[in-house]
Amino acid sequence: MRAHRLARLAPGLAALVAGLLVLGPALGPGFVLRYDMVFVPEPPVTWSTGGFPRAVPSDLVVALLAHVLPAPAVQKLILVGIFVLAGCGAAALVPGNRVIPRLAAAVFYAWNAYLAQRLLLGQWALLLGFAGLPWAVRAAARGGPWRLALALIPAAVGGFQAMLVSALAVLPVAATGSSRRFRAPLEALAVLAVLSLPWAVPASLSHAVTDPAGVDAFAARADGPFGTLGSLLSLGGIWNAQADVPGQAAWVLAGARLLVAVTAILAFVRLPRTADDAGVPYGKGLLIAASAGLAIALAGAYAPGVLKGMIGLWPGFGPLRDGQLYIAPLVLVQAVGFGMLAGRFSRPDAAGRRAAVFVPAVVGVLLPVLVLPTLAWGASGRLAAVEYPDDWRRVQEIVNGDPRPGALISLPWGAHRAFPWNGGRVILDPATKLFARRVIWDDTLLVGLAGGRLLRVPGEDLLGRRIGVAIGAGGGPLTSILRAAGIRYVLIAGRDDNVFPSRLPGAIPAFVGAEVLLLRL
């Protein structure tokens, strides 16, 4: 009985160990800050405050949880939880009751290039959807709106990217895995629509715009020796070179990952795919989803004009520009296929030798780690926890303690920061998360291209664009312009890097620190 229970817990424990190994230094005191992953102390409970609601409702949920637990603990729980949820979910999709296939699938789904690269890009909200994806697929295959709604909660918390990736997998699984051919996908669509309301409504009200140029910036690319297609099949291919796992492009390891990927896909394809055969009712739908996801990712790389045309027709196609994120169903296909392969190679032999099971099982379970070893220990130091300097806490107290309305503008006029206290890691401006009022910032995205060229993807927030034009128009005074735009505070990070205060005659310093300057208009 005890052995049986241990066997049931094994995938979850393996995924937990994988998570602890990957996060490593990120589990120390303080916050992990990297690219889109910006957690702040005492986050305010606010809804979307302008621009496209990228962090809705994820930031709100974090803020609510931070009322119960310290914010750094909330972040660590979410990050560790992603690994455990992901691993358990992949294991639950593996047909049969044998431990080794489930264990191998769990480790694969918790230790792969997709999860690693999205983690290094700080997209924890998307990873919530990735972690919940196996559960959503399982629920869609079984049918029932309430079961599906429960399974989609992580994705619903994650927001628009997580829900889009989930929809990509859930709809074909619901359409192909149930005898209720017409009712099941309609039910799934309704559940997806309802759970998408928290971000879909503010998105439709935000008047956000999407520049088709974003396709060139965010299309999948080769991150190893096997081109874009090879990278995507190996579950990498993210647009940002800084999100690569260190050393992932080495020939031996990249080749091994591609080989594992292809054999895992073949193993999945050979699975029986109907409920009548062997209880894998999600197989056909998941294969459709994986193929569609791969096609979206390849479209950005090989047919960018098509995507640009679609985005030009309707900005709602904008999320397709980062096509690599839609290969999440392919990760799941490979994880289940890999689990089945590990099970096949570790089955007992005719002589009943324990080594025939043990040796292939150990190698199989460890294989995902061996082909991407530098993901360990915070991706070899790329992830680490740091404390915010006191200056940031002080300006947060001042601004959030002020009952008078008015927005805050964050300077320097750029979306990303690289603070020395954060080890020079690039992060989204933390001012966007710190304050319980509208924060106006430059959401223009700058992406470096080959040859040192810089691609500028215009921001989506129209008010931000207007303010940006005013700031960029010469060096004249801005106080009256900003006041007219409803701005009460100007926050300037890195005081030595700009001369902006001279353009704000009449502004009153509300806080002057080594890290930040806060001016009240």
Partner 1 sequence: MVRVLAALVVGVVLAIGASVGVVNVVAPSPEPPNKPLYNYGNR
SS3 443: coil
Residues 378 and 30 sit within 8 Å (Cβ to Cβ): no
Kindly state the smallest distance separating residue 373's Cβ from partner 1, in Å. 4
Rule CB under 8 A: is residue 308 a binding residue for partner 1? no
CA dist 439 and 419 (Å) reads 20
The alpha carbon of 503 is separated from its chain's Cα centroid by a whole number of angstroms, namely 38
Closer to partner 1 by Cβ: residue 317 or 377: 377
Least distance in Å: CB of 237 to partner 1?
11
Q: Is 193 in the site for partner 1 (CB under 8 A)?
A: no
Q: Which stretch binds partner 1 (CB under 8 A): 82-90, 191-199, 442-450, 481-489?
A: 442-450
Position among 150, 426, 462, 463 found at the interface with partner 1 (CB under 8 A): 426
Under a CB-based contact definition with an 8 Å cutoff, are residues 273 and 284 in contact? yes
Under the binding rule (CB under 8 A), the answer on residue 227 touching partner 1 is no
Residue 198: which of 148, 158, 232, 244 has the closest Cα?
A: 158
CA dist 31 → 25, 158, 244, 331, 378 (Å): 11, 19, 21, 28, 13
Nearer of residues 136 and 445 to partner 1, judged by Cβ: 445
Beta-carbon contacts of 27 under 8 Å, excluding residues fewer than 6 positions away, are 20, 76, 80, 385
> If binding is defined by CB under 8 A, does position 46 make contact with partner 1?
no
CB closer to partner 1, 276 vs 496: 496
Query: b/e for 46-75, b at 16 or more Cβ within 10 A?
Result: bebbbbbbbbbbbbbbbbebbeeeebbebb
252 contributes a contact to partner 1 by CB under 8 A: yes
Asked if 380 is part of the footprint of partner 1 (rule: CB under 8 A), the reply reads yes
Beta-bridge mates of residue 516: 493
Taking alpha carbons only, the member of 80, 68, 197, 189 closest to residue 128 is 80
**By CB under 8 A, is residue 291 in contact with partner 1?**
no
Residue 493 near residue 388 (C-beta atoms within 8 A): no
Min separation Cβ 7 and partner 1, Å: 21
Q: Is 243 in the site for partner 1 (CB under 8 A)?
A: yes
Q: Is 192 in the site for partner 1 (CB under 8 A)?
A: no
247 binds partner 1 (CB under 8 A): yes
Give the DSSP letter string of 93-159: HSSSS-HHHHHHHHHHHHSSHHHHHHHHTT-HHHHHHHHHHHHHHHHHHH--HHHHHHHTHHHHHH-
- Interface residue with partner 1 among 206, 242, 263, 400 (CB under 8 A) is 242
Summarize the chain as % helix, strand, coil (round to 5). Answer: 60, 10, 30
Region 10-39 residues binding partner 1, contact defined as CB under 8 A: 35
Does the footprint of partner 1 cover residue 229 (CB under 8 A)? no
What is the CB-side half-sphere exposure of residue 373 using CA atoms within 13 A? 7
* The two three-digit tokens of residue 324, written as one number: 């690599």
250 lies in the site for partner 1, by CB under 8 A: yes
Near partner 1 by CB under 8 A, which window of 44-52, 57-65, 142-150, 360-368?
Answer: 360-368
Interacting residues with partner 1 between 100 and 139 (CB under 8 A): 121
- Which residue lies nearer to partner 1 by CB, 5 or 453? 453
Among 46, 206, 263, 374, binds partner 1 (CB under 8 A): 374
Closest distance to partner 1 from the beta carbon of 239 (Å): 6
Contacting partner 1 (CB under 8 A), which of 64, 418, 473, 512? 418
Among the listed residues 394, 379, 169, the one whose alpha carbon sits nearest the alpha carbon of residue 290: 169
Q: Rounded to an integer, what distance in angstroms lies between the CA atom of residue 117 and that of residue 243?
A: 5
Choice from 50, 360, 430, 464 touching partner 1 (CB under 8 A): 360
Which one of residues 355, 469, 484, 499 is an interface residue with partner 1 (CB under 8 A)? Answer: 355
Q: Is 221 in the site for partner 1 (CB under 8 A)?
A: yes
Q: Which of 123, 228, 240, 432 binds partner 1 (CB under 8 A)?
A: 240
Of 22, 103, 113, 371, the residue at the interface with partner 1 (CB under 8 A) is 371
Tokens of 264: 């895992």
Residue pair 285/176 in contact by the 8 Å Cβ criterion: yes
Q: Does 412 bind partner 1 (CB under 8 A)?
A: yes
Q: How far is Cα 270 from Cα 291, in angstroms, rounded to an integer?
A: 16
Q: List the interface residues with partner 1, window 443-502 (CB under 8 A).
A: 445-450, 454, 494, 497
In DSSP terms, 445 is beta-bridged to 457
CB of 247 to partner 1, least distance (A): 4
Could you list the residues that contact partner 1 (CB under 8 A)? 35, 121, 217, 221, 239-243, 246-247, 250, 252-253, 256, 345-346, 349, 353, 355-356, 359-360, 362-364, 366-367, 369-371, 373-374, 376, 380, 412, 414-418, 424, 426, 445-450, 454, 494, 497
